[in-house]
């Protein structure tokens, strides 16, 4: 094992890593970290988040090396871990954003402004009825005035997919709210 392009196959390096070889795992990281980071940069809205998630991906891979069963390439396995990390981070971000929105709504009501509480509750219930991707697209484009292009970039989704999610999400919200706007 002399470098990332040594003659060792990824599967051999991963097997050695699962037996505790830090050097073998280091070679795997050297081989695949750029691809994992590039993937995460494209799916995360912030570069720092992508870097953190890439590190988390390799931490999980180190601890789960013995679980690799060979049904895919090591790179595909790593990308799967990265994707699950990105989705988990995204869900956490949306939960935090929902808490922040709820706090702002309560604060506005306490100050005497804001929407009627029943309308806010109905909207929250309707939003929960949307898929995670639709909810994200609707939240960005309708609630935060992102352009479809900016939302597509933030969510790591194709522009057409974001437009579709916003259109379908808006229709579902209107239906759930009884045609209210």
126-144 confidence digits (pLDDT tens): 777 888 788 878 877 877 6
State yes or no: pLDDT of 113 exceeds 80. Answer: no
Range of weakest confidence among 26-30, 64-68, 95-99? 95-99
Q: Topology of 10-87 in CATH?
A: Rna Polymerase Sigma Factor; Chain: A (1.10.1740)
The larger pLDDT score, comparing residue 34 to residue 112, is at: 34
Q: What is the pTM of this model?
A: 0.51
Domain range annotation of the chain: 10-87, 115-176
Over residues 105-133, the mean pLDDT reads 65
**What is the gyration radius of the CA atoms in the chain, in angstroms?**
21
Range of weakest confidence among 9-13, 26-30, 112-116, 166-170? 112-116
Q: How confident is the model at residue 88 (pLDDT cuts 50, 70, 90)?
A: confident
Average pLDDT over the chain, rounded to whole?
A: 80
Over residues 14-41, the mean pLDDT reads 92
Q: How far is CA 89 from CA 18, 57, 81, 86, 136, in A?
A: 26, 12, 12, 5, 13
Instruction: Please indicate whether the domains covering 10-87 and 115-176 agree at the CATH topology level.
Output: no
Q: How confident is the model at residue 105 (pLDDT cuts 50, 70, 90)?
A: low
State yes or no: pLDDT of 116 exceeds 70. Answer: no
Residue 24: the pLDDT is 94
Q: Which CATH class is domain 115-176?
A: mainly alpha
E-strand ranges in 80-157 read none
Tokens for 75?
Answer: 């790179």
Over residues 138-157, the mean pLDDT reads 78
Cβ neighbourhood burial of 22 (10 Å; 0-12, 13-18, 19+): exposed
The larger pLDDT score, comparing residue 68 to residue 47, is at: 68
Q: How many residues does the chain have?
A: 181
State yes or no: pLDDT of 181 exceeds 80. Answer: no
3-state secondary structure of 68: coil
């Amino acid at each position: 094992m002399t470098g990332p392009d040594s003659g060792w196959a990824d599967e051999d390096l991963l097997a050695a890593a699962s037996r505790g070889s830090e050097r073998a795992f280091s070679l795997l990281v050297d081989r695949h970290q750029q691809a994992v980071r590039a993937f995460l940069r494209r799916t995360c809205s912030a570069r720092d988040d992508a870097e953190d998630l890439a590190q988390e991906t390799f931490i999980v891979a180190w601890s789960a090396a013995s679980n690799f069963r060979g049904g895919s390439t090591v790179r595909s396995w790593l990308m799967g871990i990265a994707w699950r990390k990105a989705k988990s981070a995204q869900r956490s971000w949306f939960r935090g954003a929902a808490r922040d929105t709820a706090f702002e709504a309560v604060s506005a009501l306490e100050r005497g402004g804001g929407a009627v509480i029943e309308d806010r509750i109905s909207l929250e219930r309707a939003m929960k009825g949307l898929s995670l991707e639709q909810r994200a697209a609707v939240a960005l484009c309708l609630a935060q005035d992102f352009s479809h292009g900016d939302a597509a970039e933030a969510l790591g989704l194709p522009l057409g997919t974001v437009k579709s999610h916003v259109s379908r999400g808006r229709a579902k919200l209107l239906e759930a709210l009884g045609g209210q706007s």
